[in-house]
Amino acid sequence: MPFPQRLIDGYNAFRTGRLKAEQSRYRALAEAGQSPLVMVIGCSDSRVSPEVIFDARPGELFVVRNVANLVPPYAPDGTYHGVSAALEFAVGVLKVKHIVILGHAHCGGVRAFAEQTAPVSTTDFIGRWMSLLAPAAEKVGARGGMELADYLARMEKAAIALSLDNLMTFPRIRMLSERGELALHGAYFGVATGQLSVRDSESGLFNPIAV
């Protein structure tokens, strides 16, 4: 099967458009290295690209994406930890000043966990990964008579709060955060509306960014 033509077409458009316009920036980044101030941990969902949402230029964001934008708790147990390794690199090497957990509406991973449907119930990796959401589900509580859309939105936002809590289990991140040298943020993107809301650290509410 050949390389996807859509990607070839996209690359050609990039090469003759953005690359041509920002060639000097790419050369400078190649020579001096990257020094982004912001790390974004987002969902792998193809509809929620941090670089697109924040209209980022090359070198501005250090991005990690996974199913449901989750951060596991600190666990130096000798096994493989992709998110933790990226956090260590971002904080220890790049010296980022902000970490943003970017969640979103209509998250397939959150819905599968909430309903205990495939792929959560049928695979080894996704089911174990999504089990990280259990503490968030406990805080949200039972759905009861709540509309499914409202319940899922609460779960999606609770997942962001959980990841922020888990960030604070990392000793270096906790130390830098308490010193005021590293800021942790939660944000929620409405796929259908394009609205971005930012979590207030004191109230826990998500407030839409004014336009």
Residues 60, 142 share a domain = yes
Rounded distance between C-alpha atoms, residue 88 and residue 74, angstroms: 11
With CA atoms as reference, report the closest residue to 91 among 79, 80, 83, 102: 83
pLDDT (tens, 9 = 90+) of the chain, 211 residues, equals 999 999 999 999 999 999 999 999 999 999 999 999 999 999 999 999 999 999 999 999 999 999 999 999 999 998 999 999 999 999 999 999 999 999 999 999 999 999 888 788 777 888 899 999 999 999 998 888 889 999 999 999 999 999 999 999 999 999 999 999 999 999 999 999 999 999 999 999 999 997 7
**Domain enclosing residue 12, as ranges:** 1-33
Contact 151, 115 (CB under 8 A): no
Contact 35, 2 (CB under 8 A): no
Q: What was the pLDDT predicted at 136?
A: 96
Query: pTM of the full predicted structure?
Result: 0.95
Number of domains composing the chain? 2
Backbone angles phi, psi at 20, to 5 degrees: -65, -40
Three-state secondary-structure class, residue 200: coil
Residues 15, 72 share a domain = no
Backbone angles phi, psi at 161, to 5 degrees: -60, -40
Residues 19, 48 share a domain = no
For residue 182 the two structure tokens come to: 């590293």
Residues 71, 48 share a domain = yes
Q: What was the pLDDT predicted at 118?
A: 78
Rounded distance between C-alpha atoms, residue 65 and residue 51, angstroms: 12
Q: What was the pLDDT predicted at 120?
A: 80
Residues 191, 179 share a domain = yes
Who contacts 94 (Cβ-Cβ below 8 Å, separation ≥6)?
A: 34, 35, 36, 39, 62
With CA atoms as reference, report the closest residue to 37 among 118, 97, 87, 84: 97
Residues 28, 65 share a domain = no
Strands 38-43 and 61-66: parallel
With CA atoms as reference, report the closest residue to 70 among 59, 81, 79: 81
Residues 63, 38 share a domain = yes
Residues 151, 104 share a domain = yes
CATH code for position 81: 3.40.1050.10
Q: What was the pLDDT predicted at 142?
A: 86
Q: What was the pLDDT predicted at 38?
A: 98
Q: What was the pLDDT predicted at 144?
A: 83
Rg over alpha carbons for the chain, rounded to the nearest Å, is 18
Residues 189, 110 share a domain = yes
Residues 17, 81 share a domain = no
Q: What was the pLDDT predicted at 75?
A: 95
